[in-house]
Amino acid sequence: MEQFDQRCLRIGDWIFEIKMVRAIRVSEYGQPYDACANINFNGTQAYIDSQLTRSDNAFSGKDFASFVQFCQEMGITDACYDRYSQGKRRSRNINISEDQRQSPKVVNFPTSPR
């Protein structure tokens, strides 16, 4: 097995390219999880899709930092995602830079007045 890129492996006559990842938030694999997301890669860009959490355990700043770190490990420079908040779709584009490794920026969506 030879790894020649952050998302490519050569095994025999085949090159395996990682194009999609499913992420789950759980303390131990195989146990019930309380959040999940799909991440699709296209070049140096990532699209985070189907980001779902249980209502009693929302997506946190710590979760955001984990996604930033994972994207950095995969060589991603830009990521985007959509979230539904209070019945409205909100899109975000994020620049994934090395300086975020120390202190990722966490920006919450503004809440609408009720």
CATH number where 84 lies: 3.40.630.30
Q: Is residue 71 part of a domain?
A: yes
Q: Is residue 5 part of a domain?
A: no
Q: Is residue 13 part of a domain?
A: no
pTM score: 0.75
Q: Is residue 2 part of a domain?
A: no
Q: Is residue 46 part of a domain?
A: yes
Q: Is residue 94 part of a domain?
A: yes
For residue 91, which of 48, 53, 61 has the smallest C-alpha distance? 48
Q: Is residue 28 part of a domain?
A: yes
In which element (H, E) is residue 91 found?
A: strand 88-95
From first to last of its 114 residues, the chain has per-residue pLDDT tens of 777 777 888 999 999 999 999 999 999 999 999 999 999 999 999 999 888 888 788 888 899 899 999 999 999 999 999 877 778 888 899 999 866 544 444 445 555 554
Strand 78-85, strand 88-95: pairing:
antiparallel
Can you tell me whether residue 16 is helix, strand or coil?
strand
Strand 78-85, strand 45-53: pairing:
parallel
Q: Is residue 10 part of a domain?
A: no
Contact (CB, 8 A) for 71 and 101: no
Give the chain's domain count: 1
